[in-house]
Amino acid sequence: MTAPTRRLASGPGGRLAWPIAALAAVALALLVLPLLSLVLRAPWADLPRLLARESVLQALVLSFGTALAATAVCLVLGVPLATALARASGWPTLARRLLRAAVTVPLVLPPVVGGIALLQLLGRRGVVGGLLDDWFGIAVPFTTGAVVIAQVFVAMPFLVFAVEGALRTADRRTELAAATLGASRWQVFRHVTLPLVAPGVAAGAVLCFSRALGEFGATITFAGSLPGVTRTLPIASYLAMQSDPDEAIALALLLLAVSITVLVGLRDRWLPGVRG
Amino acid sequence: MTRTPRPALHVDVHVARGSLHVEAAFDAAPGHPLAIIGPNGAGKSTVLAAIAGLVPLESGAVSIGDRAVGALPPEARRIGVVFQDYVLFPHLDVRDNIAFAARMRGGSRVAARAAAEPWLERYGLTPLAERFPAELSGGQAQRVALARALAAEPEVLLLDEPMSALDVEVRAEMRSELATHVREFGGATVLVTHSTADAAALADSVLVLEAGGVTQRGALADLRAAPATPYVQRMLAAAAE
């Protein structure tokens, strides 16, 4: 079955029909040319000076710090959520679908909507934010913590689905075998389940980190753009575009370099489709 | 590996598996392995899973000697299981597979590995100690699975189709090796098979399970003398060929 399916669009000898080849070339150009232009127009000579600017370093440190924190939060909370999702087969169908939908929504939602929604929850007059303000005098929005929360909101599904996929393909009987050997539920999770899905967890963490690092819409809505507090690399890059395009390009290059590093790091074990 | 008097296994279970209801009541005396034999889909493996606590009971009881274990989770039953196709831990080498139970009892990694040494030696696995399950032959994997189960010092041993994952050429040899190890274990042992040759080599008596119910129990010779159902008759006739 696989051979005919794979060759569906190609004529004899594996050649593509010309409209398909032409459209594919346009698609590829759309994906590659912008990034190529970015590299070509980069102020390479000025790059060290641009990247050494106080504002750039501030955004860099803030971005990496918050993206790492968001990834840590996603790992601690997302792995259990993925486990619940993968093991929910005994639940009622409606509950299972709602759970899955709840995890999927942030994936398809415009991030700005996520930011506005977070404000309604944790803003000064928000559902929970109001209480936090009244009782403890804590205001969440427009803080570095808010940046992390916004990143967790958008990045969590990446981790959850990567781990859930790994859990689904892992042989459940290894867990049963561990139980017959005296392992408690926690020991089974710690010594069998987790090591078996470790590649999925690692892949999910990397995807989660790169999504958190690139977060813009939810962050600027929920956390604003305070230099050194909430102005992350993407936001700094967007703002610089209006005042100092060279700095914006430098920041964009930096983000591109990180993305490529992530891709290269993932290529061998976790994204076999990317392997050339 | 001192030999203390080992308890018998008492089973009286009712398990639902999809549309199939399985009911089985029997005892297995220590040192007298019992083979559950029957056609595919009769519920043989389900009975083993119920004894080990891996599927919930509709009703009934499982006890080891005087100890009722039917309501206990699998990790508290002290029932060792050799799974069909063995289900070794793919991320652990042979030594750590065998050391697993000792590690779960709270020993350090070093102590657990030391406790695994005599088992590696006894089963001829010392040269394979650093190998991972993917690098083992079927016969080697069976040895590791058995050593891993027995290293947990269970009171009862269950084997689910222990020979089915082996190549035909090595079956006869592995069968007699397994029979020796099961005798050495000396506790109550129940194995599931659909081969009368396995039952003859490994067990003292046979329990026939058909469509979720026990249809005959006895030594193979008893079954030959008076087959209770057409299935038993066909099975014995096929084995005689």
Q: Which residue has the higher pLDDT, B29 or B195?
A: B29
Q: E-assigned strands of B127-195?
A: 156-160, 188-193
Residue A276: what pLDDT? Answer: 35
Residue A6 lies in a domain: no
Mean pLDDT (whole number) for B142-160: 96
- Banded model confidence at residue A16, pLDDT cuts 50, 70, 90: confident
Structural domain tally of chain A? 1
- Find the DSSP H helices in B38-157: 44-52, 94-104, 109-122, 138-151
In one-letter notation, the amino acid at residue B36 is I
Residue A98 lies in a domain: yes
Mean pLDDT (whole number) for A134-158: 94
Rounded Cα gap, residues B73 and B53, in angstroms: 6
pLDDT cut 70: percent of chain A above it: 91
Residue A89: what pLDDT? Answer: 77
- CA neighbours within 13 Å on the CB side: how many for A17? 7
Residue A4: what pLDDT? Answer: 47
Rounded Cα gap, residues A265 and A168, in angstroms: 24
pLDDT at A8 > cutoff 90: no
Q: Which residues of chain B are within 8 Å of residue A176 when distances are taken between CB atoms? A: 54, 74, 83, 87
pLDDT at A7 > cutoff 60: no
| CA B78 to the chain's CA centroid | 13
Is this model's pTM higher than 0.90 or not?
A: no
Domain of A234, CATH number, reads 1.10.3720.10
pLDDT at B182 > cutoff 70: yes
Minimum mean pLDDT among A62-66, A87-91, A138-142: which range?
A: A87-91
Q: Which candidate from A182, A196, A198 shows the least CB-CB separation from B101?
A: A182
Q: Which of B87, B98, B146 to mutate to test the interface with A (most CBs of A within 10 A)?
A: B87
Residue A40 lies in a domain: no
- DSSP 8-state class, residue B170: H
* Average pLDDT over chain A, rounded to an integer: 89
Residue A199 lies in a domain: yes
- Banded model confidence at residue A272, pLDDT cuts 50, 70, 90: very low
Calculate how close chain B gets to A162, using CA atoms only, in Å. 19
Mean pLDDT (whole number) for A136-162: 95
- Tens of pLDDT, residue by residue over A172-210, are 899 999 999 999 999 999 999 999 999 899 989 999 999
Mean pLDDT (whole number) for A110-129: 94
Residue A45 lies in a domain: no
Residue A141 lies in a domain: yes
Which two three-digit tokens encode residue B22? 């399985």
Mean pLDDT (whole number) for A48-71: 93
Helix (H) or strand (E) holding A94: helix A93-108
pLDDT at B2 > cutoff 60: no
pLDDT at A275 > cutoff 50: no
Q: Which candidate from A184, A192, A198 shows the least CB-CB separation from B75?
A: A184
How many interchain CB pairs under 8 A, A with B?
61
- CA torsion sign, B2 to B8 to B14 to B20? positive
* Average pLDDT over chain B, rounded to an integer: 92
Neighbour-count burial of A75, counting CB atoms closer than 10 A to its CB (0-12 exposed, 13-18 middle, 19+ buried) = middle
Residue A137: what pLDDT? Answer: 87
Residue A2 lies in a domain: no
Neighbour-count burial of B225, counting CB atoms closer than 10 A to its CB (0-12 exposed, 13-18 middle, 19+ buried) = exposed
Which two three-digit tokens encode residue B12? 């009286």
Rounded Cα gap, residues B80 and B8, in angstroms: 14
Neighbour-count burial of A12, counting CB atoms closer than 10 A to its CB (0-12 exposed, 13-18 middle, 19+ buried) = exposed
Q: Is A131 on the interface with B (CB under 8 A)?
A: no
Instruction: Judge: A179–B89 Cβ closer than 8 Å, yes or no.
Output: no
Residue A229: what pLDDT? Answer: 94
Residue B17: what pLDDT? Answer: 86
pLDDT at A112 > cutoff 60: yes
Minimum mean pLDDT among A47-51, A138-142, A264-268, B5-9: which range?
A: A264-268
Residue A172 lies in a domain: yes
- Banded model confidence at residue B131, pLDDT cuts 50, 70, 90: very high
pLDDT at A3 > cutoff 60: no
The four Cα atoms A128, A133, A138, A143 give a dihedral, to 10 degrees, of 70
Residue-range definition of the domain harbouring residue A135: 61-270
Q: Which of residues 140-179 of B touch A (CB under 8 A)?
A: 148-149, 152
Q: Is A89 on the interface with B (CB under 8 A)?
A: no
Q: Is A171 on the interface with B (CB under 8 A)?
A: yes
Residue A155: what pLDDT? Answer: 96
Residue A87: what pLDDT? Answer: 83
Q: Which candidate from B75, B83, B89 shows the least CB-CB separation from A182?
A: B75
- Banded model confidence at residue B239, pLDDT cuts 50, 70, 90: confident
pLDDT at A1 > cutoff 70: no
Q: Which residues of chain A are within 8 Å of residue B87 when distances are taken between CB atoms? A: 171, 173-174, 176-177
Residue A270: what pLDDT? Answer: 52
Residue B3: what pLDDT? Answer: 56
Q: Is B74 on the interface with A (CB under 8 A)?
A: yes
Instruction: Judge: B104–A183 Cβ closer than 8 Å, yes or no.
Output: yes
Q: Is A184 on the interface with B (CB under 8 A)?
A: yes
Mean pLDDT (whole number) for B52-72: 94
